[in-house]
Chain A
């Protein structure tokens, strides 16, 4: 019985991790691209990005998840898992865009100026001077977003994807032990978030630039 319990919730954990691992890279790629367009894309793209970000962040993720799910599932034939993951990454892109935008802006215009002064094109300067510094600055707020995406992955439960929470609910119903089932789910989420944040803290330490002692 205990063995079944572990296998059951373990497979849910694998789904949660997979959803997160699928959603996060998508959020990074979109979020970073949108942030770059916002800052370097000129007036109209910048406005467009502001509208995008404001709209996306002004609606609860679960509502967006449903809307995006039906848009995605309605236009292409993919599994709920992929539809849910893509929708989650899409929602996250707006938040990640703000994270990367903030980081890019805090690098400061002087670095771009200095890069242009030695003959770099704007794009070369972004790639070799601004981005390497911005990505370092983005790690702490991004770490926060990772834990949000991890926890928000429980929302794909509503789309029928058998992740931790859905598994826990089923277990609660069959075993009549809701505290054990949801308690285990909570513990697993906590361990996942805690470990990820520690790993990213470590990454931040390792990439930190040396300063005068």
Chain B
């Protein structure tokens, strides 16, 4: 009963001679909100993509709800229905309205009847506060609104876990807040989330576990207070110091 929703052991990935990450173990329990931090190019985004099989890991195993999804013959498309993903650059379907974006997975993947899909999509848009923008195309939405639609699109599939890949990195500073707010609400609704971000304020406030990754390995992990206030490793301390210098102390 208490098995993790998403679990990976010994996950490794390299492109040619370039090791992206090596021998990563990770377990995401029901209701976990895990934030992965670390310098750019340490394999955080690739790790997320390997977890929902968008990128094939070179070795290691991944389980979703106790079923090994890296086993040969297991349907990747089926797996991805249950793992929501939000990208740094939104990636909304440009030819569809906000409503169309959220509906597409419901009608074409889950094969819901149109009316039912529409209702569900509207309620998801409502959840991210954009019901009034249902008829707008991505080109007519701000970056923050586009990212919220992207979140609604992922939520519509009723995922077991949501992966966020630097969801606010491509946003103007004044638009970051609205996206983080939606994520905070998801956290309150006990959505299981795995978030790669540089938003330390969000990490401290919302996460129940922080993972610090560097050069393709997990250096340190722990509860936010533990990791932020008493980091065990010099590298973690250095990184945190640099990032607070960069982003300010607004959440202190």
Interface residues of A (CB under 8 A from B): 110-111, 113-121, 124, 128-129, 132-133, 136, 209-212
Q: How many A-B residue pairs have CB under 8 A?
A: 74
Specify the chain A residue showing the minimal Cβ separation from B139. A211
CB of A118 within 8 A of CB of B54, answer no
In this assembly, does B93 line the interface, its C-beta being within 8 Å of a C-beta of chain A? yes
Chain B residues with CB under 8 A of A111: 91, 93-94
CA of A111 to CA of B104, assembled, Å: 13
CA of A114 to CA of B89, assembled, Å: 10
In this assembly, does B105 line the interface, its C-beta being within 8 Å of a C-beta of chain A? yes
Set A110, A118, A128, A132: member contacting B80, Cβ < 8 A: A118
CA of A124 to CA of B85, assembled, Å: 18
For the complex of A and B, list the 3 residue pairs with the smallest distance between their C-beta atoms, beginning with the closest: A119-B81, A114-B91, A211-B139
29 contacts between A and B (CB under 8 A): A110-B89, A113-B91, A114-B87, A115-B104, A116-B54, A116-B77, A117-B54, A117-B85, A117-B87, A118-B84, A118-B109, A118-B157, A119-B79, A120-B105, A120-B108, A121-B77, A124-B108, A124-B109, A129-B93, A129-B95, A129-B104, A132-B95, A133-B93, A136-B95, A210-B139, A211-B137, A212-B139, A212-B140, A212-B141
A117 to chain B: closest CB distance in Å? Answer: 4
In this assembly, does B154 line the interface, its C-beta being within 8 Å of a C-beta of chain A? yes
B53 to chain A: closest CB distance in Å? Answer: 9
Chain A residues with CB under 8 A of B105: 118-120
Specify the chain B residue showing the minimal Cβ separation from A136. B95
Chain B residues with CB under 8 A of A124: 108-109
Chain A residues with CB under 8 A of B157: 118-119
A125 to chain B: closest CB distance in Å? Answer: 9
A209 to chain B: closest CB distance in Å? Answer: 6
**Docked complex: B63-117 residues within 8 A CB-CB of A:** 77-82, 84-85, 87, 89, 91-95, 104-105, 108-109
Set B80, B87, B95, B139: member contacting A119, Cβ < 8 A: B80
A120 to chain B: closest CB distance in Å? Answer: 6
- Residue of A110, A114, A129 with most partner-chain B CB within 10 A: A114
Set A110, A117, A209, A212: member contacting B95, Cβ < 8 A: A209
In this assembly, does B52 line the interface, its C-beta being within 8 Å of a C-beta of chain A? yes
Chain A residues with CB under 8 A of B150: 114
Chain A residues with CB under 8 A of B79: 119
CB of B153 within 8 A of CB of A110, answer no
Interface contacts beyond A119-B77, A133-B95: sample of 5 additional A-B pairs, CB < 8 Å, sorted by A: A116-B77, A116-B80, A118-B80, A118-B105, A118-B153
Chain A residues with CB under 8 A of B92: 114
B68 to chain A: closest CB distance in Å? Answer: 18
Chain B residues with CB under 8 A of A115: 93, 104
Chain A residues with CB under 8 A of B154: 117-118
Set A110, A118, A132: member contacting B81, Cβ < 8 A: A118
CA of A212 to CA of B146, assembled, Å: 12
B204 to chain A: closest CB distance in Å? Answer: 28
Set B52, B78, B108, B153: member contacting A128, Cβ < 8 A: B108
Chain B residues with CB under 8 A of A118: 80-81, 84, 104-105, 109, 153-154, 157
Chain B residues with CB under 8 A of A129: 93, 95, 104
Chain A residues with CB under 8 A of B108: 120, 124, 128
CA of A117 to CA of B151, assembled, Å: 12
CB of B85 within 8 A of CB of A209, answer no
Set A110, A114, A120, A209: member contacting B109, Cβ < 8 A: A120
